[in-house]
Structure 1
Amino acid sequence: MLEADVKRTAVVVMQLLGKPIPQGPSLATIRDLLAAEVSHPLCKILASTIRSEWRNANAHEDFRWDPVNSTLLLGGQSADLEEVLDAAIRARAICRGFEHGVAVAYAQNASLVVSDAEDSNYVGRDLSIVQAAGEARFPVLDIRRQGSLVRLDVPDITVESLREAFRAILRAAIADPSVERWELRQTSPDRPPLRVDRTGVNAGLQVAEPLWEIADPLPFASLPLLANAMTNAGELAATAASTVLVLAAAHAVGERDRLSPALAHGDPAAKDELVKTARLVSEGARAAARLLKSPADRRLLAFAAVLAGDCHRLRDSPPYELVHEFVPAERTLRRHMPVRLPWVTGLENSAV
């Protein structure tokens, strides 16, 4: 533990402080360097993990197990196994906390990251994933990698944070295209993980790519990701389609209601924004439909076609008329409520 995590972490800390480090320093040298930095709490904490009395530089020949008393002998002295274990866990936690702090700092200061032309190892790719989630303002508590699967430990997902979760997945997929499957594991053990595979990511990116620079693509790009996640959660295609329909219709109707005051005053910019939003919702629903089996996909395709038809029909209408338009989307919203999201609890009577 001390020769690996603590020593490596201490070297990085000293380098960040701009302190000279000798080549191949011993643990005793590292301890002395840390102890000299009395004004830096992290150095004090790291130094406190180094227990010289437990370490024998001569091949550990004085470390042995006493089978009679069932205890560990360090230099001939009995040692409490629980104390040794607690010290090792504490040292590991301190090092991991430091690594997470560096990842958070990079995520909040993306301009400090210098891209490397060479292929990065998995540590660098993990850092880029955490940074991407930070840019999406979606908290990641831990990251683990198993082959082409990446697991992210995250706080419990809510209706409000679901879109940000999908945003983080898309951003992370851009940062590390080698990942085939994403799994977001929530804090509450009774909540199932949210799983998205490459099929869903590619469909979401196809919707999002033309929009990154001009608009927030997630209200629309999240729809195919949602369809894919519902399928991976074992939901029926009909249930997945209903959930996508609710979120798509809710966004179209919500934008109409938000812009209604400006529309009522004849604002052409509000009309253009609403028509553009409805058209993008239609495209997102169509992308989600391609990931579901019929007849569920036909419901989504029909909704997308009606919404696109409304956009075409209303392009020459005065803005005030749009206050009472998009009635099919409103009916769809009422028909398919309440929404079912297997990763979020307490939705039975809630609105989106």
Structure 2
Amino acid sequence: MPAWTLINCSQPLTVMRSALFAREVIQLAFAADPESSGLVLRTYKLRVDRSKANHVGIIRTQLAQREAVTDGEKAELSLDLYRRVIEGQFRPWAWTLLQLRGRSGSRLPELSALRDQLIADKHRVLKHAADALLPAVRNAAAHEDFLWDEVLEKIQVGESVTTVEEVEEATMRAYEFMMGCELAIVSCLSESDALVSAMSLEDPVDGSRTINLGAAINMFGTNGLQVRSHRLDRGLFTVELEEWPPDRINPGFQALITGAKILQQAERFQVRITGQDTLAVDLPRGPLDANFSVWRQASTHFFLMPPSTFLPVNVAARIEVEGREQAARSATRLALTDALEALSLLESKDRRYLKKAWSHVSARFSLIEHSFKVTKETCQLHGSSDIDEALKRIERLAKELSKQPQDVAVPFLASLVKGIEKNWEAIDPVSVFPLVDDTPV
């Protein structure tokens, strides 16, 4: 995220200068007085829900700017955007840094006083930030006490005038200062467990709704998926993806499973793909929570998650499309495909390689067995002969593979493998996840 922010901002050097300054301020203050500086930073952190609401307003105003027709409308919206950025994003961070540098006070100062304090500090970064503060413009925006002069093409505020370009420049300067501060705190938290603990002392029992929501959304980005929009409303979490490529199906499930663990406030989870009418995923919490135990087992043994890691949530989601009977066959085919792929690793004649591969295949079969059982219970796939027969064969193979290679009867192992192959061939090919890509594999 920090690198992406720097690459995509309009003035990366300005953002970087603010980030380096803010990081130094935070680190020096926390080293000198962890208790007092921790309190200051916690106070800032606990404003995050208000900051989120402000940010939503910023986005709404920017969207309105794109639709504005007249110069007067554009001027009014530029003032509104400036007020939102200054009040909700810039002012809290400016006051936080001033407090960490020795200023005291029980509440956020008014803009005129804040500007005076930034200038009085005499640090060039804060003096540069102070130039973003235009108290008269902010007050005019807040009280709608301004006029658009069509002749001069300027905004008249009291006895003075300003241009839309000047307002936009001040807005960008304030926003870039805030971006630098946000990058700084991310860097500091990543380097100091003590700071993390200090800033978490007064967290709500279930965590901050805004922070949890942000962390859940970030799970999609870390799994290579771009989120277009998201919402958490009355227990329903909805995310819209720009696209969900076939090679990102399981990473998408991973984002959902880990995101649900973070987002305890949500009871139902939906995934949309831009341009598609039907939901790609529409699930209650149950299958995601059930799948988490499988994911946790996989994460302790594998760097790359085997396909069966996500079998419970995959099958739960596809039931709505395929029906329970076909979903049972799909679950069986996918589990057996994973099993055969794992067994193919034992075809080498290199003994040293086989010794390493054996432990990998053993762990993988243990995972497939666990995942298959969880899928059967979670999705209520009882009475399916395909599942029952395949599960018995996987259980037997998992038991044999848990032994040391020298203790395994090769003919018996071979007969078990042939049984797996027979089961697999008896089921028609299925897609990995039909709601994203219906190509059989």
Q: TM-score, normalised by structure 1?
A: 0.69
2:263 maps to 1:171: no
CA contact (8 A) 2:306 2:364 kept: no
Q: CA deviation at 1:227?
A: 1.6
CA contact (8 A) 1:265 1:320 kept: no
2:307 maps to 1:223: no
- Which one is further off, 88-97 or 271-280? 88-97
Q: CA deviation at 1:65?
A: 9.8
- Say if 1:170 and 1:2 are closer, same or farther in 2 by CA, change over 3 A: same
Q: CA deviation at 1:152?
A: 3.4
Name the CA distance, whole Å, in 2 between partners of 1:27 and 1:19: 18
2:337 aligned partner: 250
1:190 aligned partner: 276
1:199 aligned partner: 286
- Say if 1:140 and 1:93 are closer, same or farther in 2 by CA, change over 3 A: farther
- Return the match for 1:337 from 429, 433, 437: 429
TM-superposition CA deviations, 1:256-286 (whole Å, max 9, x none): 1234216777834533432442232122112
Q: CA deviation at 1:339?
A: 1.0
Q: For 1:178, what is the secondary structure of its paired residue? A: coil
2:93 maps to 1:12: yes
Q: For 1:258, what is the secondary structure of its paired residue? A: helix
- Which one is further off, 325-334 or 159-168? 325-334
CA contact (8 A) 1:31 1:47 kept: yes
CA contact (8 A) 1:285 1:304 kept: yes
CA contact (8 A) 1:263 1:323 kept: no
Gaps of at least 5 residues in structure 2 are: 1-80, 150-154
Name the CA distance, whole Å, in 1 between partners of 2:302 and 2:246: 21
Q: CA deviation at 1:204?
A: 1.0
Which amino acid in 1 is paired with 2:88?
Answer: R
Name the CA distance, whole Å, in 2 between partners of 1:200 and 1:52: 53
- Return the match for 1:27 from 97, 105, 111: 111
CA contact (8 A) 1:126 1:143 kept: no
1:69 aligned partner: none
CA contact (8 A) 1:62 1:76 kept: no
Aligned length: 338
CA contact (8 A) 2:396 2:416 kept: no
Q: For 1:326, what is the secondary structure of its paired residue? A: helix
Name the CA distance, whole Å, in 2 between partners of 1:98 and 1:183: 33
1:1-352 equivalences under 5 Å are: 1-10=81-90, 11-12=92-93, 15=96, 23=105, 24-28=108-112, 33=118, 54-56=137-139, 60=143, 62-63=145-146, 75=158, 113-114=196-197, 115-116=200-201, 118-119=204-205, 120-130=207-217, 137=223, 139=225, 141=227, 143-186=230-273, 188-190=274-276, 192-209=279-296, 212-215=299-302, 219-231=307-319, 233-261=320-348, 267-293=354-380, 297-312=384-399, 316-317=407-408, 326-334=417-425, 335-339=427-431, 341-345=433-437, 347-348=438-439, 351=441
CA contact (8 A) 1:108 1:131 kept: no
- Which one is further off, 199-208 or 136-145? 136-145
CA contact (8 A) 1:129 1:176 kept: yes
Q: TM-score, normalised by structure 2?
A: 0.57
Q: CA deviation at 1:200?
A: 0.3
Q: For 2:272, what is the secondary structure of its paired residue? A: strand
Name the CA distance, whole Å, in 2 between partners of 1:99 and 1:144: 26
- Say if 1:122 and 1:248 are closer, same or farther in 2 by CA, change over 3 A: same
More helix by share: 2
TM-superposition CA deviations, 1:118-169 (whole Å, max 9, x none): 42331232244346667x6455635431122223344522343222222223
TM-superposition CA deviations, 1:269-322 (whole Å, max 9, x none): 533432442232122112112233557744323321222133346654356986
Q: For 1:308, what is the secondary structure of its paired residue? A: helix
Which amino acid in 2 is paired with 1:224?
Answer: P
Name the CA distance, whole Å, in 2 between partners of 1:85 and 1:229: 49
CA contact (8 A) 2:131 2:170 kept: no
Name the CA distance, whole Å, in 2 between partners of 1:143 and 1:202: 21
Q: For 2:283, what is the secondary structure of its paired residue? A: strand
2:21 aligned partner: none
Which amino acid in 1 is paired with 2:93?
Answer: V
